[in-house]
Structures are given as C-alpha cells and as structure tokens.
Chain A
Amino acid sequence: DVKVTQSSRYLVKRTGEKVFLECVQDMDHENMFWYRQDPGLGLRLIYFSYDVKMKEKGDIPEGYSVSREKKERFSLILESASTNQTSMYLCASTSDRIRNQPQHFGDGTRLSIL
C-alpha cells in the first residue's frame, strides 16, 4: 500500500514565522502535490512537482513556496505566516508511469496561525 506521511497532524505557529510542512511518500512516485482544504471551498491546489527540483504553481501559490530535493520528499514553505493561512493542508502523490492513476493522500496537517 502507498504511504504518504505528513510530519505533523497539528501545528500552531505565530504570524510572521517561517513554517515548514513536510511530506514523504514511499512508492517512488514522480508527482507530488500540496493542497489546502477550507470549509465551503473544497481542495485547492497550491503547488505541485513532476520531478526532483521541479515545481509548478497551482491555483493559489501566493504566500507559499515548495522544495523537492529528493524524489520522496516534498516540502511546503510559508515564508511569513499570516492568519489567513490557517487551514488544513493535504499532501498527495501519484505515479506518472501509468495513466489515470489516482492520487494518494496523507492524513493532513491542521495548521493554526495565531
């Protein structure tokens, strides 16, 4: 079974802090994604990556950056956290070798910015 692990289930940070959310997958997947989930808005794509050191902006990249130094790890960075970034963050991965494969999700990190 594919395992996508997010480093924290709950995180509380202060406004202006630099925040790192980590995600690791164990299935050698090429593609990795970061979403945020908010009530009434569903899931919105922040950034994704098709390969090591490669990144693409999603629908709402403002205020975020990402890092993919190794294939299995994809980090989301909040450069200077703000209260409107309080949300549930979900990481996902999928293989690029076979078409129409589903994304596999981690359990999420609930981030609160005070």
Chain B
Amino acid sequence: GNSVTQMEGPVTLSEEAFLTINCTYTATGYPSLFWYVQYPGEGLQLLLKATKADDKGSNKGFEATYRKETTSFHLEKGSVQVSDSAVYFCALSDPGYSTLTFGKGTMLLVSP
C-alpha cells in the first residue's frame, strides 16, 4: 500500500534560516503529492502540490519538487519567519482517487 515518511521533529530554527523538511513516499503508479500546513488551533491548509514528475510546487516562499527517481518531495524555504511555526504534513493521492495518505507531520519552531 501507499505510505509517506517525513522527518521527525521538532525542527528548531532561527528566523531567516534555511528550511528543509524531508519527505519520501511509496506508491504504485504516479501519485499526486501535497504539502499541508497546520497552524496552532486550526485545521490543515494546502501549502503546495505537484501532480507529475519534475513538477515544482511553490507558495508563500516554500517550494517542493516531485522527484520520481528518488520518490521524494522535500519542502524548502530560503528564509523562515516566526509566523512559519506550524506542523507540516506531506501527503499523496493515487491518480483518479481523492483519498490522501499522510505522513506523521513535522513540527517547525522558528525563534526570533
């Protein structure tokens, strides 16, 4: 079956540091890949997505590239802000299906 593995947190960074959160997946076929973010006390929001190999999703300074050869979708940001402190979830969906398989989430804490 499908699975998503992401690095354990918390990831603790100072403001303006570079961020990488690793995500690898196991799936049959060619899934779509997503990053969701959950701010304290809220539900999940879509951060970015990619639907085919070599696609790059980007939003709010965050980027992730769909790497089929390494089955990875790592999240990066060049300069984090305190307001980026949240839990980040990597997820995949099989083509033609709307159900998602989530990773366990990575908490990011950014200090001033």
A contact set with B: CB distance below 8 Å: 4, 31, 33, 40-43, 45, 48, 50, 58, 90, 92, 94, 96, 99-108
B102 near A102 with CB under 8 A, answer no
CA gap between A33 and B41 in the complex, in Å:
20
Q: Point out the residues of chain B lying under 8 angstroms from A96, CB to CB.
A: 98
Q: Point out the residues of chain B lying under 8 angstroms from A31, CB to CB.
A: 98
11 residue pairs from A and B, CB less than 8 Å apart: A42-B89, A42-B104, A43-B102, A48-B99, A90-B44, A92-B43, A96-B98, A100-B32, A100-B51, A105-B43, A105-B44
Q: Kindly state whether residue B73 has any CB partner on chain A within 8 Å.
A: no
* Number of residue pairs A-B, CB distance < 8 angstroms: 54
Top-9 shortest CB links A-B = A105-B43, A42-B104, A102-B46, A105-B44, A43-B102, A100-B32, A107-B43, A31-B98, A100-B51
Q: Point out the residues of chain A lying under 8 angstroms from B36, CB to CB.
A: 102, 105
**Which of A33, A45, A94, A99 has the most B CB atoms < 10 Å from its CB?**
A99
B43 near A90 with CB under 8 A, answer yes
CA gap between A42 and B15 in the complex, in Å:
26
Q: Point out the residues of chain A lying under 8 angstroms from B95, CB to CB.
A: 99-100
CA gap between A52 and B45 in the complex, in Å:
25
Partner of B102, one of A42, A99, A107: A42
Q: Point out the residues of chain A lying under 8 angstroms from B42, CB to CB.
A: 107-108
Partner of A100, one of B41, B44, B49, B103: B49
B34 near A102 with CB under 8 A, answer yes
Partner of A42, one of B43, B45, B96, B105: B105
A36 to chain B, nearest CB (A): 12
